[in-house]
Amino acid sequence: MLTIYDSAARAKREFTPIRPGHVGIYVCGMTVYDRCHIGHARVLVVFDMVVRYLKERGFDVNYVRNITDIDDKIIARAAENAESIESLTDRFIKLMRRDAEALGCLPPTSQPRATENVDEMIAMIETLIERGNAYRADNGDVYFDVSTFERYGSLSGRDPDDLRAGARVAVDEAKDDPLDFVLWKHAKPGEPQWEAPFGPGRPGWHIECSAMSTDALGTTFDIHGGGHDLMFPHHENEIAQSECATGCHFVNYWMHNGFVRVDDEKMSKSLGNFFTIEEVTQRYHPEVVRLFILSSHYRSPLNYSDQNLDAAQASLSRWYSALKKVPANAEPIPEVMDAFHEAMDDDFNTPKAIALIHEQLSLVHKIGEQDKEAAAPHAASINAMGAILNLGQLDPDAFLHWSAEGDREDTFDDAEINQLIAQRAEARAARNFEESDRIRDLLLDNGITLEDGAQGTTWRRQ
């Protein structure tokens, strides 16, 4: 039985899809005005893991992750760069997809762009105006009237009266209530705009996801995901406008991944602890980043630090070293796979699932040198569990021989390393242990660790 922690219910609930055997999942995607950062990496990897495991459990998954390609930040960045909005957003969409692929993420079933779905947004806003849930203000903007939705604040557990007491209204806004939020921004000179019955302009951010999710998945769908920071106000606003426009319950399960912190501090450009996926994966293999993310439960805070990434690097090196020594040419152990599925069925408990993998790794290392046949089922179990999480599926040498971008000009290439290992073997055969040790230390000084075994010497980059 698969259970999912539903943020709206604040409890784990047995997962029952609307259509048996089918799952519709919508995840709030990126606003494409800059490179994706490690916070985005967590969203990408977490929901890729969720989709992969749903597929493992036999579900046909329709995974929708939107792209916001028009908003204030995009307009400002394009003007700053003196380039067109289309050029800016196309460039960062390509880079976003490259980052996601590097992290081992499957492409979503569909990736709707906001600018390609403005007609659906206009239609939803028209419906909200007709039903008395939205109004056109004196400044030409269209706002959602929060007072018309009784359950406002139910997802985040916030009291509308308390929110009003602390709300700030910008001087150029003409809304009736501090909590009302913009659905349509009136046209301003030099900005992109679309014609609409309520005046030319462009959509607000919140209406994008309501229009695109219901268009792709229907008025009620199974799972809506995103970062914890989106719970309020974005997801709260989505619920209000969607349910008022359709008259239907919007989402059955809300999933939110936890915040990413850097050395136990909030990630912020002003603090100088802001890292893009590109920057991190130049220093660490992308699969190390994936393991690091999945080693914490998706709802827990994730602390980014060199120490934690170094630990993930060491774990994966041990993982690939084991699989290189012992081929996974046996059937996985049923009891191990049952325990893995039990962990994942419990709200996608990847830390527990990965702990099971480490237990099997210990057994492979313990018995593999003496009896590869006895160790093979354990290696097969590691491989099977890793395949579900998309970990440990690379060629072992491809991972073990990988080097960080900054180290690539300062160390030996693969051919030079293999030549030095051959020279060391000759020195050992001649009992010239001084030369053998010299070569080993030379390689170690250049970040190359040697491992001697019954099948010869293997190496990996530190």
pLDDT digits (tens, 9 = 90+) for 22-59: 999 999 999 999 999 999 999 999 999 999 999 999 99
28 is annotated as contributing to ligand binding? yes
| The pLDDT of residue 305 | 92
Of 287, 283, 353, the residue nearest 104 (C-alpha): 287
209 assigned binding-site residue:
yes
What b/e readout covers 392-418, taking b as 16+ CB neighbours within 10 angstroms? bebebeebbbbbbeeeeeebbeeeebe
Question: Which residues of the chain register pLDDT less than 70?
Answer: 169-172, 269-270, 405-411, 454-455, 462
Cα-based distances in Å from 313 to 211, 289, 329: 41, 9, 25
What the block records as the tokens of 413 is: 């290439």
Q: What pLDDT is recorded for position 422?
A: 79
Beta bridge partners of 461: 448
C-alpha span between 136 and 409 (Å, rounded): 61
Domains belonging to the chain, first-starting first, are 16-112+258-304 (3.40.50.620), 306-402 (1.20.120.640), 405-461 (no CATH)
Q: Rounded CA gap, 78 and 75, in Å? A: 5
- Model pLDDT, residue 52: 98
| Residue 234, pLDDT score | 97
* 12 annotated as a binding-site residue: no
Residue 234 assigned as binding residue: yes
Note the pLDDT of residue 406: 54
- pLDDT tens string 376-422: 999 999 999 999 999 999 999 889 988 776 555 556 777 778 888 87
Chain center to CA of 363: 31
pLDDT at res. 169:
66
Question: What is the structure's pLDDT at 407?
Answer: 55
